[in-house]
Amino acid sequence: MKAIPFSYTLRNMVARKVTTLLTAGGMALVIFVFASVLMMTEGIRATLVATGQPDNVMVIRKSAGSEVQSGVGRDQATVVDSLPEIATDADGLKMITKEPVAVINMPKRKSNAADPDKPANIVVRGTTRQGLALRPQVHIVEGRMFTPGTSEIIAGRSISQGFKGAGLGESLHFAQRDWTVVGIFDGGGSAFDSEVWGDAENLMQGFRRSAFSSVLFRLADASQFDAVRARLEADPRLTIEAKREKQFYAEQSEALAKFIGYLGTTLSIIFSIGAVVGAMITMYASVASRTGEIGTLRALGFPRRSILVAFLVESLMLGLVGGIIGLLVASAMQTVSLSTTNFQTFSELSFRFRITSGIVIEVMTFALFMGFIGGFLPAWRAARMKIVDALRAAS
C-alpha cells in the first residue's frame, strides 16, 4: 500500500493550529478529570494500604466491617495474648496491643475569620507503647509520647493542622474530660495521620467501654499466619476473625475507592462525548476544506486505505496531544492534600493524589480511543470520495 507521509499530517495540524489546540484542549479537559479521578482513587488505596504491616495480624469481631463496629471482650483478648507465635521485643515483652477505637466530632480550624466552624469526625485510638512499636511508619515529630495512665494524647499531623485544639500544647474535650496534646506524630502517609492516640485503659474508662475494638500483634514467623488464624477461628470460646493488617486496611479502601471510581468514570464518559463530538466536527471541517487535496492524492495513486489512515492518524494525534496536556496538568495534583470521609468509619481521612505507570497507560489509551472515535467517520468519508467528484468540488 502506498502510504501518505506522516509529515503531511503534521503540516496540516500546524496549519490549523487554533482549531487543533481548541480540539486538543477539549480532550485535555476530559483527560484531566479522568486522570484526577484515577489518581484520587489510587491515593486513597495507597494511604490505607500503607497503614498495614505485612507481619502484623489484626483481630476483630466476626463480620465487623471496621474497628469502630468491632468489639473484642477482655477474656477473648487474653486468649489471643496467650498465643506462643507472637513475637517479642528486645526486652522480652510480647509485641501485642489491645486497642479501643472511637469516633468523635470536632470543629475544624477556620481558614479565615469569616468561616464558620465546620465539625467533622475523627478517629480516637487507645494504644500502648507496643502499639507504637508495631507501627514503624509512625514517628513523633514534635513533643513526646503520652504518659500511660494520664489524660495525655498525641495527634496525627493532619489532625493537628486541621482541627481546633489538636495542636501541640492545646487540649481536646471528649470522653468526659479534657485531654492535653503532648505530641504530634507523622504516620508516613498512612491513615494514622488522621487519628488521635491516647492511653488504651484511660480511653476505655472515658468512653465507658467494656470491650476492646481490636487486638493487634506481630508474628514471630509471618508464614504461621494461616495456622494461627485457623486456630483462633476454630476456638469455641472466641467470636473473632484474624486478618493480616495490610489486607484489613486494603479492604477498608474498597467502598470509598469504588464510589469515587464509579462517579468519576461516569463524569468522564459524559464529558468525553462532548470532546468526541468536537473532534468529529474538527475532522469533518478538515475533510471539507481539503477536498481538492484528497482528489489530488487519489489522482497521484494513493489508495482509499491510505486516505483513511492519514485522517485517522491526524485524529489520533489530536487525542495524543490532548492526553499529554491533560496528564501533565493532572500530575501537578500530586502536591495537593485533600480529606474525605472514610465510608467504613465515617471519619476524616487525609490523602494525596498518586500517579502510577498503570494510570498513565490507562489515561493515554482513553485519549487515543477518543481520538479514534472522533476521527473514524470523517476519515471514512474522506476515503470514500471519488476522484472526479473531489476535484470538481475543489474547482
Does 264 lie in the same domain as 240?
no
Q: How far apart are CA 378 and CA 361, in angstroms?
A: 27
What was the pLDDT predicted at 325?
94
Does 72 lie in the same domain as 29?
no
SS3 content of the chain, % helix, strand, coil (to 5): 50, 20, 25
Strand partners for 122: 104
With CA atoms as reference, report the closest residue to 348 among 51, 45, 119.
Answer: 119
Does 114 lie in the same domain as 21?
no
Indicate the number of domains in the chain: 2
The C-alpha cell of 307 is what? Answer: 486516505
Entry pTM:
0.77
With beta carbons less than 8 A apart as the criterion, state whether 195 and 213 touch: no
Domain assignment present for 268: yes
Does 369 lie in the same domain as 262?
yes
Does 379 lie in the same domain as 303?
yes
Does 173 lie in the same domain as 64?
yes
Domain assignment present for 1: no
- pLDDT tens for 38-56 read 898 888 888 877 778 889 9
Does 237 lie in the same domain as 276?
no
pLDDT range class, residue 2, cuts 50, 70, 90: low
With beta carbons less than 8 A apart as the criterion, state whether 99 and 170 touch: no
Does 200 lie in the same domain as 79?
yes
What was the pLDDT predicted at 344?
67
Q: Are strands 139-143 and 177-186 parallel, antiparallel or unpaired?
A: antiparallel
347, containing H or E segment: strand 347-352
**Which residues are CB-contacts of 46 (< 8 A; sequence separation ≥ 6)?**
189, 351, 354
Domain assignment present for 64: yes
- pLDDT tens for 308-340 read 888 888 889 889 999 999 999 999 998 887 777
Q: Are strands 119-127 and 96-99 parallel, antiparallel or unpaired?
A: unpaired
DSSP string, 195-213: EEEEEHHHHHHHTT-SEES
Domain assignment present for 237: yes
Domain assignment present for 346: no
**Which residues are CB-contacts of 288 (< 8 A; sequence separation ≥ 6)?**
none
Domain assignment present for 301: yes
Does 289 lie in the same domain as 202?
no
- Last residue of one domain, picked from the residues 247, 265, 297: 247
Q: How far apart are CA 219 and CA 229, in angstroms?
A: 11
- Last residue of one domain, picked from the residues 247, 269, 287: 247
- pLDDT tens for 167-213 read 999 999 998 899 999 999 999 888 899 999 999 999 999 999 999 99
248: left (phi over 0), alpha (psi -120 to 50) or beta: alpha
- Last residue of one domain, picked from the residues 212, 231, 247: 247
What was the pLDDT predicted at 329?
94
Residue range 87-95: mean pLDDT, rounded: 92
Domain of residue 336 covers 6-49+252-341+351-394
- Give the CA distances from residue 14 to residues 10, 19, 21, 25, in Å, rounded to whole numbers and listed in that order: 6, 10, 10, 15
With CA atoms as reference, report the closest residue to 296 among 203, 368, 201, 387.
Answer: 387
DSSP string, 212-263: ESEEEEEBSSGGGHHHHHHHHHH-TT--EEEEEHHHHHHHHHHHHHHHHHHH
Q: Is the pLDDT reported for residue 306 higher than 90?
A: no
Does 298 lie in the same domain as 230?
no
User: Of 14-28, 266-280, 350-364, which has the strongest mean pLDDT?
Assistant: 350-364
Does 260 lie in the same domain as 241?
no
Does 180 lie in the same domain as 61?
yes
What was the pLDDT predicted at 393?
57
